[in-house]
Amino acid sequence: MIPGWAREVLRRPAGVFGAVVIALLVAAAIVSVFWTPRDPFAADPFQRWLGPSAAHPFGTDGVGRDILSYVLAATRTTVLVAALSSVVAALVGLVLAAIAALGPRWVREPLAVLIDVLIAFPVLLIAIMLSAVLGSSLGTVIAAVGIGFGVNIARVSRGEIRRVARAGYVLAARASGLGPVRTLLDHVLPNIAPVFIVQLSLSAGVAVLSEAGLSFLGYGAPPSRPSWGRLLSDLQDYVTVHPLTVVWPGLAITLSVLAFNLFGDALREATDPRLRSRRRIAR
């Protein structure tokens, strides 16, 4: 049985495109754990810079690695970063938003200012600072993206939590003796879930782009872990000589980010009652 919000998402071309690409991305990541056409790190100096063929559908790079195998293996890194950074962003955003919206005044007002200050720091800058202290690793990328976008989620969710917290049914629940934590979990969070889920879908797109950018700069995944950004970094000096080689990792990054963003937009349109009411009025 497909939930109503899922049917609404799949009625939109953007939602279908996003869902299909995300499903293919996850499927490729799972398949690459067990199988790739060739060893993604196997170098063959006699197979350098081959064009697309039946043996190497995406060609080979400057050390003779099969680009298709490397791109498939790198989807594991992309999916892992997108999933774990979204979990971190959800936890950070939820905790900050709840405290900034429902905490005592002497806590929530300074915290709201702190959130506004932290939003000014780009995710890439946070990741580079963390990498300088902790060293380059996938965990640093996940923490940086999760914290960086978690602050954005807190900014958006704070207003929604305050709006819902003033609703009559929430006030009635608190008047009946329900504690603040139970009120938050039972009444507030279910009513801000659409906004929260949309923000998480957008954070996944930011995570894909951030991981690729950080790996390109040398602050992301270690050399032992395949990454689309690292592959682009390895190929950048040869882009004018072998331009087709950079198309495949670049296309993978572009389609993944576009899919997460389009899916998030379709999800927002499907779950936001205010947008649905506006469309009814327009009709």
- Under-70 pLDDT residues of the chain: 1-5, 272-283
- Residue 35, SS3? coil
Q: Which of 248, 227, 216 is nearest to 59 (CA)?
A: 248
Read off the pTM: 0.86
Residue 75: the pLDDT is 95
Residue 273: the pLDDT is 55
Q: Which of 36, 205, 167 is nearest to 213 (CA)?
A: 205
Residue 281: the pLDDT is 47
Domain 4-282 bears CATH identifier 3.40.50.300: no
Q: Please provide residue 60's backbone torsions phi and psi, each rounded to the nearest 5 degrees.
A: -130, 165
